Structure 1
């Protein structure tokens, strides 16, 4: 089947990934699900993680790392994991990230993911 017919799945993304990249994805998935209810929507470009109100993060294995995005209500300070930060709504900034090793998914990054989860649950609507 071609890419236009075969549906994209998490398993399809992981099957094409290196072992380190797949492991980073699995760890990110576990962290996000530890915050509460999470739904996923899979496309060719990313696995989008959704809270109770909206999508707030996305990721996909790439090379030996993980690339993705995270929606926050503020711009993060400079960090080598953050490739860009662009405002796209009045009170939301989308951050493009790249994780290269397990240590990149540290307590600081997990705290940012938690902020993103709060956006997914509607925190940006109360600001």
Structure 2
């Protein structure tokens, strides 16, 4: 666990802020999220986790409706479907790209970018750059 993190005694999640509001329930199993999904969906997820793990420590949180990638805060969410992987990255700026299905601005430095990936090949160099930027948001380095 990163220095200065608060650990919820009830659900076990870690947070940057003590007693941070959250849906307090036990985490599930990553594999359960892929029941009924094509093998390419799992391979795409595994490629993303491999890429972000090369950047530094990351937790994969198997929440009820999504798999969250978490450093000091969650910076990406992935929702496996039968034939594709839906998800979003939280970036510190808005990026205009046809690869993003939707962009939601929560604050000037927290911008959600929704995407859909159909296979591991979609996790290319450009996606790796966005993932690295989102990881820095998750580490809260974008505030510096």
**Partners in 2 of 1:45 and 1:124 — Cα distance?**
27
Where does the alignment leave 5 or more consecutive residues of structure 1 unmatched? 1-5
> Is the 1:17–1:63 contact (alpha carbons within 8 Å) kept by the matching residues of 2?
yes
Name the CA shift for 1:102/1:41 in 2 (closer, same or farther; >3 Å): closer
Could you tell me which of 49, 60, 63 is aligned with 1:40? Answer: 60
- Report the Cα distance in structure 2 between the residues aligned to 1:44 and 1:78, rounded to whole angstroms: 29
Q: Give deviations 1:4-53, integer Å, cap 9, x for gaps.
A: xx9631010123321111111111111111110001221122110111x2
Tell me the number of residue pairs that the alignment of Structure 1 and Structure 2 aligns.
120
Task: Decide which structure has greater helix share.
Answer: 1
Whether contact under 8 Å (2:68, 2:76) holds in the other structure is yes
How far off is 1:120 after superposition?
0.7
Equivalent residue in structure 2 for 1:69, among 85, 88, 91:
88
Displaced runs of 4+ in structure 1, greater than 3 A? Answer: none
Alignment partners' CA distance in 1, 2:27 and 2:95:
34
Q: Which has the higher contact order (CA 8 A, sep 6+)?
A: 1
User: Structure 2: any 5+ residue segments left out of the alignment?
Assistant: 1-25
